[in-house]
Amino acid sequence: MKHCLITGVVVWLGGTIALRFFGQYVLHPESLLAIAMLFVLSFPLMAWVARRICADAALPPERWPLGGFYIVMPTLVFDAFASAFFPLVYPNMPESAAGLFGGWMLWCCAGALFGLNFRRQ
């Protein structure tokens, strides 16, 4: 589980740094098409990423849901503050993107958790 937590922190930190520099090119709260595309692409991508992290950690599949908790916890904790202090954390994006950012982070966490709990029968 330690691997999952550390990787979750690294993924969160990498994403935060990337958004700090390039977020204005990613989040477009004025465009429904851009929002829809962002959400449609993010859910399966995060499902795949989370599955890769758990597989790389050599967790047995029945432990993946617990691993998912450790993977998404940094995003859920730290991005709550990033959303609350959005203009300070992301001065490169308009304040109107704060709600989209918060929703997108929840959507990404949902995708990761879904990916770790979905199994073909």
Summarize the chain as % helix, strand, coil (round to 5).
Answer: 85, 0, 15
Average pLDDT, whole number, for the chain? 95
This prediction has a pTM of 0.92
Please, what is the Cα angle at 68 between 107 and 112, to 5 degrees?
A: 30
pLDDT at 13 over 60: yes
Percent of the chain, pLDDT > 70?
A: 98
Q: Are 71 and 11 in contact (CB under 8 A)?
A: yes
The rounded distance, in Å, linking the Cα atoms of 33 and 20 is 23
| pLDDT, tens only, 46-77 | 999 999 999 999 999 999 999 999 999 999 99
The rounded distance, in Å, linking the Cα atoms of 39 and 5 is 24
The rounded distance, in Å, linking the Cα atoms of 81 and 75 is 10
**pLDDT value for 120:** 55
